[in-house]
Amino acid sequence: MKPFYGCYHTNFDEWQQHDRIMAEYIWIDGTGINLRSKSRSLDKKIECLADLPDWNFDGSSTEQACTEDSEVIIKPVAYFKDPFRGGDNLLVLCSSYSWTDETRTELKPANTNFRYFSEPIFEECKDEQPWYGIEQEYYLMECSNAFTQWPLGWPEGGFPSSQGPYYCSVGATVCYGRAVVDTHYRACLAAGVNISGTNGETMPGQWEFQVGPCEGISIGDHLWMARYLLERVSEDLGVAVSFDPKPIKGDWAGAGGHVNFSTKTMREEGGLKEIYEAVDKMKERQKEHLDLYGLDNEKRLTGKNETCAHGEFTCGVGDRTASIRIPTSVESSKMGYLEDRRPASNLDPYLVGAILVSTCVIGESKHEEAMFEHFNNWKAEREALKD
């Protein structure tokens, strides 16, 4: 695939880099959903993760440090081909760390580094080879500026016709943003992100892409990189992206991040029994799961628009109003996977993946306490910023 440059110079791919490469370092900022990035030159082609050096950034500008002690360290955790720059250039996903004290001798995970705390849980459950597929819903927004946004295809300051004709739609009067979606799809494939498909959703300007199947912690790496690529493509095409679970009040659909999940035992003959046992475990831990399933998710889980109400837990075969849907093909073959429809579009895939496998395989991992403590500290920070 020829690199996509948007409004950039059309013959970039002909320019020589003289054996140097460009590496775009990417990390999650203090909001827990926004991504930041910056570039650096490296002197040789990267052959493995260990070849990538650590770096740093000003955390006082990303809600991750104070001005008086602003340096945050980023450590590469995964890398992908750069479809924008082409060649051997890379996109480098990083986890962020801050210093424990003024001696600068020890690092601790920064406020949104949930990957660090999920990793031992995935490791503890690795023998069950957990597979994930995440259905990432999102909105494309027209944006004359950062403060004036409205869903793509909607009348200015008004509302379109009722939901129905927009799901998997085709045609100029019902489908808005396909150029963004298709370019993003191609960018993911070119980068090596395990994207498995896309479709239009029930609200005009609302779309979905699916990432997976991915095993273990890699689901988080691939979903975050897919989000980055979507933001980059949208930037070039002059459209904004929203992962808000409920950007439009009223009966309009919210946006979810449904998680398809299975273990080795679930995928084997007779695995349906294991699936239903996992559902029972999830029901017992409903509160803990919802705590980690995305901010403002209660605004989306209303019991309408194919959701189960926030305070309820249900399971059904082929039932898209249920908390947990068992696909009809799984019920028929007596093995396969389940779909957790509770997570919001702004989910952190490391947190959701970890709590799911911990609940379904172990019951409750000993490593959960540290993960919840870190998450709750960050959540308290977010609440304090609102005051």
Each residue's pLDDT tens digit, 45-104: 999 999 999 999 999 999 998 888 888 999 999 999 999 999 999 999 999 999 887 777
Q: Are 350 and 285 in contact (CB under 8 A)?
A: no
Quote the CA–CA distance of 387 and 258 in Å, as a whole number: 31
How much is the pLDDT for 1?
34
How much is the pLDDT for 145?
66
Q: Are 77 and 115 in contact (CB under 8 A)?
A: yes
Phi then psi for residue 96, to 5 deg, are -105, 145
Percent of the chain with pLDDT over 90: 77
CATH of 19-111, one of 1.10.3720.10, 3.40.630.30, 3.40.50.10490, 3.10.20.70: 3.10.20.70
> What is the model's pTM?
0.95
Quote the CA–CA distance of 279 and 16 in Å, as a whole number: 55
Q: Do domains 19-111 and 123-386 have the same CATH topology?
A: no
Q: Tens digit of pLDDT for each residue in 126-164? A: 999 999 999 999 999 988 766 677 888 888 778 887 777
Quote the CA–CA distance of 45 and 12 in Å, as a whole number: 19
Quote the CA–CA distance of 282 and 338 in Å, as a whole number: 11
In the chain (387 residues long), the average pLDDT of successive 10-residue segments reads 50 84 97 97 96 95 88 96 95 95 84 98 97 97 76 83 83 91 97 97 92 97 98 94 92 93 97 97 97 96 92 95 96 97 98 98 95 96 81
How much is the pLDDT for 8?
56
Class of domain 123-386: alpha beta
Quick one: tokens of 361?
């395989």
Q: What is the DSSP letter of 58?
A: E
Beta bridge mates, 211: 134, 195
Task: Parse the chain into domains and list their residue ranges.
Answer: 19-111, 123-386
41 Cβ contact partners less than 8 Å away, ≥ 6 residues apart: 20, 21, 22, 23
Burial of 299 (0-12, 13-18, 19+ CB in 10 A): middle
How much is the pLDDT for 2?
43
Quote the CA–CA distance of 61 and 67 in Å, as a whole number: 8
